Amino acid sequence: MQISQELLGKHLVTNFDGQLTVGKIVETEAYRAPEDKASHAYGNRLTPRTKVMFEPGGHCYIYLCYGIHHLFNVVTASDGIAHAVLIRAIEPVWGIETMLQRRNMPQLKTNLSAGPGTCSQALGLTTASSGLSLTDDTAMIWIETPVVSEPFQIQSGTRVGVAYAEESAFLPWRFSIAGNKWVSKAKGL
DNA sequence: CACGGGATCGTCT
DNA sequence: GACGATCCCGTGT
């Protein structure tokens, strides 16, 4: 919860095949097992897929949604506690040409990375990278605090696509940088 | 601009 | 064997 807000404004960096891409995190969602019915680890459900969420924080959980989209999460809690923060949108900062190529887009538009599936694709993140460390010296994915950053207000709302989750569906656990045009359009905010 | 549907496949029952 | 923590494009207004 706190971490999902602290991640706003931070830089998410990937370095695959010598291609450096950087995006400022502008939108996140918190998922907190065991009580959160929207979490894949609800009730501490432990499967081959979810097990990286139970490991100590500092690495990532990436999974495939709707057979098409790779969704990137930061695992945030201590050993045995399955908390994660979904990165829903980034503002491109560096490596824009690479991101456009990955997205197969001719020119820069806000839909380059507004939405969890597209922003993962822009950064080159796939399930193949699930479980990788964000903190190792050799990490290919990591998070940095930008040297300079504009102050911003945090906006919150309910999460997207979790209507099935009963009472958990109404938790205001979606956070974004107010007024940032790279935030996804889902459910207005 | 709002809505509707199709794409597409790993994961769990 | 069903179903998503989604996106995009088509249609109609």
Q: pLDDT grade, residue A102 (50/70/90)? A: very high
Q: pLDDT grade, residue A97 (50/70/90)? A: very high
Asked whether residue A34 is domain-assigned, the answer is yes
Asked whether residue A15 is domain-assigned, the answer is yes
Q: Which residue is nearest to nucleotide B7 (CA to C1')?
A: A68
Asked whether residue A28 is domain-assigned, the answer is yes
Task: Report pLDDT for A188.
Answer: 52
User: What is the rounded CA–CA span in Å between residue A57 and residue A132?
Assistant: 11
Asked whether residue A184 is domain-assigned, the answer is no
Domain interval for residue A130 = 2-177
Whether pTM > 0.85 for this model: the answer is yes
Mean pLDDT of the A99-112 span: 91
Q: Which residues pair with A20 in a beta bridge?
A: A15
Asked whether residue A137 is domain-assigned, the answer is yes
Task: Report pLDDT for A187.
Answer: 62
**Whether A67 CB is under 7 Å from strand B:** yes
Parallel/antiparallel/unpaired status of strands A154-157 and A11-16: unpaired
Mean pLDDT of the A85-111 span: 93
Domain count, chain A: 1
Q: Please name the residues in contact with A101: beta carbons below 8 A apart, sequence gap of 6 or more.
A: none
Asked whether residue A24 is domain-assigned, the answer is yes
Identity (one letter) of the amino acid at A43?
Answer: G
> What is the distance in angstroms measured between the alpha-carbon CA of A133 and the sugar C1' of B3?
41
Mean pLDDT of the A10-17 span: 96
Task: Report pLDDT for A164.
Answer: 84
User: What is the rounded CA–CA span in Å between residue A49 and residue A32?
Assistant: 16
**Nucleotide of closest approach to A185 (CA, C1'):** C7
Asked whether residue A133 is domain-assigned, the answer is yes
Q: pLDDT grade, residue A106 (50/70/90)? A: confident
Residue numbers in A 21-50, CB below 7 Å of strand B: 40, 45, 47-50
Q: What CATH code is carried by the domain that includes residue A102? A: 3.10.300.10
**Residue A88 buriedness (CB in 10 A; 0-12 / 13-18 / 19+):** buried
Asked whether residue A121 is domain-assigned, the answer is yes
Covered bases, chain B (protein CB within 7 Å): 7-13
